[in-house]
Amino acid sequence: MSTQKIAIVTGAARGIGSAIAKRLASDGLAVAVLDLTEDSCADTVSAITEAGGKAIAVGADVSDEASVTAAIEKVVEELGPPTVVVNNAGIIRDNMLFKMTVDDWDAVMGVHLRGAFNVTKAAQKHMVDAGWGRIVNLSSTSALGNRGQANYSAAKAGMQGFTKTLAIELGKFGVTANAIAPGFIETEMTHATAERMGVPFEDFKRASAAQIPVNRIGVPEDIAHTASFFISEGAGFVSGQVIYVAGGPKD
């Protein structure tokens, strides 16, 4: 019987999620690349399989319980029971509080928080059965507060509380839960932020890098490296932690 571990990475069609999926595949895990549509996952899956790794594309709306249940069943059927979950799926609907709509609020909470809840709840029984599991949740430095992001900040702070509770509840089953809080990472999402602000992305990058102690902005691989650590065998005594991967200290 294969001892290859099975990982689910949500929001893995592009950006940070794609980088994490590729890294875990290179670490030897079989990866379910999950995003809204199966087609959108094709590039990530191809990159993994062409490099000799194992991956499948899974289309699902993480905010919808039935969609997630079906997705987990597909993973079990095609790869095996998942014991690693990376909750990375996320969206932004930025606006100042007085302009933010209830729909903007609900959409962000639905993908980030309900999404993480749905996927983790569906997958945890496989971890408990195996007596081993790794959960990695994506938070953000925005959890500390960020102008124009009341919804996103609240969701990302919520991910930290969710993570710590999972660590407490699931620890006795050999399951760890940790969170990564990225700072400024170059992705389509940060390109969109610059566009919304009416600033050329190169200028946005330069100004951001000047505020970061290591004097550069992050890349998705920086986050993937941290996820790889949390998921490794050697990190079994690390649980309930939040690591700010932001090029400098954050509180």
CA 75 – CA 40 distance, rounded (Å): 17
Residue partners of 99: CB distance under 8 A and separation at least 6: none
Question: Which of 41, 47, 3, 12 is CA-nearest to residue 136?
Answer: 12
* C-alpha triplet 197, 200, 204: angle, nearest 5°: 75
Q: Where are the alpha helices (DSSP H) in 89-146?
A: 102-109, 115-130
Tell me the C-alpha to C-alpha distance, in Å, between residue 182 and each of 57, 90, 102, 131, 150: 25, 13, 26, 29, 17
What are the E-state strand segments in the chain? 6-10, 30-35, 55-59, 84-87, 133-138, 175-182, 242-245
Q: Hey, is 82 helix, strand or coil?
A: coil
> Residues 173, 10, 163, 94: what is their CA dihedral angle, to the nearest 10 degrees?
-170
Catalytic residues: 152
Are the beta carbons of 104 and 151 closer than 8 angstroms? yes
